[in-house]
Amino acid sequence: MFTDWTHWLSSMAIDQLFWLMVPVLLIDLPRYSLGLSAMCLWDMLYELVYGGEEVRAYEYCPAVSLVIAGLNEGDTIHATLDSIWGTYPRMEIIVVDDGSSDKMTAISQDFAKRHAGVLVLTKPHRGGKSSALNFALPFANGEVVVCVDGDSELSEGAIWEIVQPFIDPQVGAVSGAVVGRNPFVNLCTWCQAYEYLRCIFVGRMFAARMDILGVISGAFGAYRRSALQRVMGWDVGPGEDGDLTLRLRKGGFRIAFQPYAQCRTNLPTKWWTLIRQRRRWEWAAITFECRKHVDMGNIFSPNFRWSNLGVLLDRWIFNVLLVYLLWGYAAWVCFHLHENTWKQFFLYYLCYLLSDAVILTVVLYYSTNRWRDLLVGLSLPFTPFYNLLQKAISLWAITEEIFSRRSFRDGFVPEHVRQATWHW
């Protein structure tokens, strides 16, 4: 079979091969493989010419207010608090219980009694994550507000790492890198763990260098408090982290990324849970980049900057246009099947594997735990199918958001809050 495939491929003319390979562009090949390779080669050359970067002491130590907002996080909140307390000298910790029905408040208060600098706030009724974060703001005294999810743990030195870019007064927010805490539970978590390395660890590193980073990780992000006050905090979700990032960009602030400020978070272990999560994430491409903040691409708008236009183009092209083109091409193929169809798809599969092998090499170059990340990267044979699943979820999510504004009927935000907000 392989011999038959190679004979078919070698018999094609250059122009035929070119047009055959065009659909490969629909699977994010230029977005990740080419861009990340260029970034990695640049850094390798820089290191070769100027030498490796010297290990340096942290230069900046602003006062930090670390906020943990959660709902029914009683099982994990103690471990999260224990991993954070005492890791940074000028830090207060604020826990916000968003109307939990478990023992989250009691466990947090017990921790606060035995550890100085911990404040526990309890809301009587659930208002959603943005409401809980805003509830904490009047109690935050630090120059920098760091937000961490209640089911996450921070790596050693993560707070020190994430505050360093704030030495630049133009920086309004900094995203940490989120990695999977449970990558080897099953195939679902294994593929997600590699996706996080590709899209968040090195993907956002590239986006930040190009000044087109459009989202701060909700699980671990830091904000200049004065910048938060200027944009009046978080707006109603889902997708409140991306929305806030875009509003900060419109306010003239720069968005930074610290790849070694890492947060370990629990990945969904069931496929349906993952599908619902990603569906909710994908709504944001329409709600924010195509509606609420589309003025960032209007050259006559005061919010226009070329970097802001780059953020919009990145989302419009890769998260909307190419999704429809990919599935349009798939539908066309279904109506034009022939004896060589399987050979085409086998070619696309190999191209995707090669693309991901290049990305994994880049991940390992920047990694501080190469053995772990190599084991995660061994999921490569499954990633083409996993990526197709993600594209199917994107098609579903953006289509329903375009035609029905589905995000404003989602239970992620309580109904009384959803009804009180503007439906973009």
One DSSP character per residue, 93-104 reads EEEEEES-SSSH
For residue 236, is it within any domain?
yes
Q: How confident is the model at residue 371 (pLDDT cuts 50, 70, 90)?
A: very high
Residue 424's pLDDT band, with cuts at 50, 70 and 90, is: confident
Domain region containing 182:
1-48+155-424
Distance, in Å, from the CA atom of 182 to the CA atom of 189, rounded to the nearest integer, reads 7
Radius of gyration of the chain (CA): 23
Residue 30's pLDDT band (boundaries 50, 70, 90)? Answer: low
29 pLDDT band (50/70/90 cuts)? low
Q: Over 80: is that where the pLDDT of 17 sits? A: no
Task: Kindly give, in sequence order, each residue whose CB lies less than 8 Å from that of residue 111, ignoring residues fewer than 6 positions away.
Answer: 77, 78, 81, 82, 85, 118
- What is residue 15's predicted lDDT score, i.e. its pLDDT? 72
301: DSSP letter? S
Residue 387 inside a domain? The answer is yes
Tens digit of each residue's pLDDT (9 = 90 or more) over 145-163: 999 998 888 998 999 999 9
User: Does residue 18 register a pLDDT over 80?
Assistant: no
Sheet holding 118-123, edge to edge: 118-123, 91-98, 64-70, 144-148, 220-224, 171-180, 254-265, 152-154
Does 107 map to a domain?
A: no
* pLDDT at residue 47, rounded to an integer: 87
- The answer to whether residue 62 is domain-embedded is no
pLDDT exceeds cutoff 90 at 43: yes
Look at residue 122 and tell me if it is in a domain. Answer: no
- How far apart are the C-alpha atoms of 353 and 383, rounded to whole Å? 8
Supply the mean pLDDT for the chain: 91
User: Does 186 score more than 80 pLDDT?
Assistant: yes
Angle formed at CA 199 by CA 211 and CA 68, multiple of 5 degrees: 85
How many domains does the chain divide into? 1
Average pLDDT over residues 43-59: 79
Q: Measure the CA–CA gap between 265 and 351, rounded to whole angstroms.
A: 31
Q: How far is the C-alpha of 175 from the C-alpha of 20, rounded, in Å?
A: 39
SS3 of residue 84 by DSSP: helix
Q: Percentage of the chain with pLDDT > 70? A: 97
Domain contains 350: yes
Give the pLDDT of residue 404. 92
Cβ neighbours around 389 below 10 Å, total? 14
Residue of 296, 148, 145, 311 lying closest to 230 (CA atoms): 145
Q: Quick one: average pLDDT of 59-77?
A: 93
Residues recorded for the chain: 424
Dihedral Cα 155, 159, 161, 162, nearest 10 deg: 110
What would the mean pLDDT of 235-239 be, rounded to a whole number? 84
The verdict on residue 67 lying in a domain is: no
Mean pLDDT of 275-298: 94
219, part of any domain: yes
